[in-house]
Amino acid sequence: MDIEDTLLMIPGPVKVAPRVLRALSKPMISHRSGDFSVIYSDCCKLLKQFFETKNEIVVMTGSGTVGMDAAVAGLIGHDDKIVTISNGKFGERFTEIGERYGKAIPVKFEWGTPFDLDRVEAALEGGAKAVAMVHNETSVGLTNPAKEVGKLARKHDAVFIVDGISSIGGNEFFTDEWGIDIAITGSQKALAVPPGLAVVSTSPRAEERFLPKSASYYSDLKAHLKSVRKSQPQTPFTPAVSLFFAMQESLHMAAEEGFALRRARTAKQAQSVRSAAKALGIELFPQVNEHTHYSNTVTAMKMPEGVTDDKLRGGMKKQGVIVSGGQDLIKGKIFRIGTMGMCSSSDILRTIQTLELILVKEGKIASCGAGVEAASTVLES
C-alpha cells in the first residue's frame, strides 16, 4: 500500500496537515536574519498559550528528550539529588538522565498504575533539589497527577520538572497554575509538526537555581534563554529552520481552532476510542484513581487473549492503518491508538472499523459494527 494511503494512528509522530507540509518547503533563510527572529518570536508567543504559561519559552533542535536532558543538566550537579517518579518507560528515562548528572532518587511504580503520593513525599523529604515526572505516560496511556506533585514540590522547595511531551495541547496542562517550573514538549505530538523540535518553558524560580554552568553544552538552557532574549530572538546553535516554518504554521492552525477547543476535541476522540474498546470487549491497560486518568492523547489496550501482536497490528497495517504496540516489558501485551494533533473523527472510525475486521478474522467477535457504532455515538454527541 502506498504510504500516502496509510493512516498513522500512533502517539507520535502524528500525521501532518498539508498546510504544514507546504510550509516545510519554503525557501531557506538565514537563521541569524530578522526574518527568522520574527518567526521565532511568533512561535514563542503562541506557545505560551499552548503551555498556559507566562514563563519564558525556548525552542531547541532535537527530540523531546533533549528538553528533558536540558532541564536536568541545567539544575543537577554531581552532588545534587533529583526525585524521579515513574510508572512507565518515559518516567524511567528521567531516572537515567538524573543518574548521568547527579544522584537520582527513583520512586518506581508498576507500569500503568497510579502514583502513591505518600511515597513521592517521603522521597522529597531527603532534600532533593528537583523532582521530575511524566504527565502523560505514553507507554501505558495514563495521565499522572502533576497538580498534586506540584504542591509537594513547593512544600519541599524542589524545582518541579514535567515531561509534557505527549500531553501539552492534548490533555489539560496548566503550567503556571500547577507550579511547573520546567515544562517540555516535542513537535511531533499534539503540535502536529514533524519530529525534530523540543519546546521548553522555564520559570524564574528554576532559572535562579540553575548551576553556574550546565553539564550539557548543546542542551544548555541558559544559553538558549540568553539567545531568545536578544533584541532579535535567535537560537545559540543552528536550528532546524524548516521545522520552525512548520511549527509557526501549525500553531496558527491551532490558534484558529482554539487551544481549548482542540483539547476538548482530543478528549472526545479519546473517549470514542475507549467506548469502542468497551463495546468490543477489549480491556484498557492502565489503572486509574481519583488523581490519575486515562490519557486523551493515546489509548492503551490489552491485546485480546489468543491474538498476537503480529496478527492484530500486522493485520491492521496490511489494511493501511498503523497503531503502536507495547514497549519493553509489555511488548506484545498491549496496543495503543493515538488521538492528538490533526486526528479526525473519520480517522478514528476507519481505525476502529479496521480493528473490527481483524477481530472478526481472529474469531473474537461475530461481526463488525459495535465498535464503530459506540465510537460514532460519542463523536456525534
**Per-residue pLDDT tens digits of the chain, which is 381 residues long:** 667 789 999 999 999 999 999 999 999 999 999 999 999 999 999 999 999 999 999 999 999 999 999 999 999 999 999 999 999 999 999 999 999 999 999 999 999 999 999 999 999 998 999 999 999 999 999 999 999 999 999 999 999 999 999 999 999 999 999 999 999 999 999 999 999 999 999 999 999 999 999 999 999 999 999 999 999 999 999 999 999 999 999 999 999 999 999 999 999 999 999 999 999 999 999 999 999 999 999 999 999 999 999 999 999 999 999 999 999 999 999 999 999 999 999 999 999 999 999 999 999 999 999 999 999 999 999
Residue 299 and residue 250: Cα distance in Å, rounded?
A: 24
Residue 58's Cα: distance from chain center in Å? 17
The alpha carbon dihedral of 91, 96, 101, 104 has a sign of positive
**DSSP code per residue over 223-243:** HHHHHHTSSS---SS---HHH
Position 1 scores a pLDDT of 63
Are 379 and 272 in contact by the 8 Å Cβ rule? The answer is yes
Domain 3-13+258-379: give its CATH superfamily.
Answer: Aspartate Aminotransferase, domain 1 (3.90.1150.10)
Q: What is the pTM of this model?
A: 0.97
Closest CA to 351 of 323, 380, 318, 309: 323
Length of the chain: 381
In the chain, domain spans: 3-13+258-379, 18-255
Q: Do residues 235 and 61 make contact, with C-beta atoms less than 8 angstroms apart?
A: yes
Task: Tell me the CATH class for 18-255.
Answer: alpha beta
Measure the CA–CA gap between 217 and 213, rounded to whole angstroms: 9
Report the Cα 122 to chain-centroid distance in Å: 27
Task: List strand residue ranges (DSSP E) for the chain, in order.
Answer: 7-8, 56-61, 81-86, 103-108, 130-134, 136-137, 142-143, 159-163, 182-186, 197-202, 293-294, 298-302, 321-322, 324-325, 334-338
CA-CA distance, 245 to 130, in Å (whole number)?
34
Predicted confidence at residue 4, as pLDDT, reads: 75
Residue 72: strand, helix, or coil: helix
Alpha-helical (H) ranges within 187-288 are: 204-208, 221-228, 241-257, 259-279
**Per-residue confidence (pLDDT) for residue 5, from 0 to 100:** 80
Give the position of cell 518567526. Answer: 39
Q: Which residues pair with 7 in a beta bridge?
A: 321
Which residue is it, cell 474498546? Answer: 277
DSSP string, 42-58: HHHHHHHHHHT--SEEE
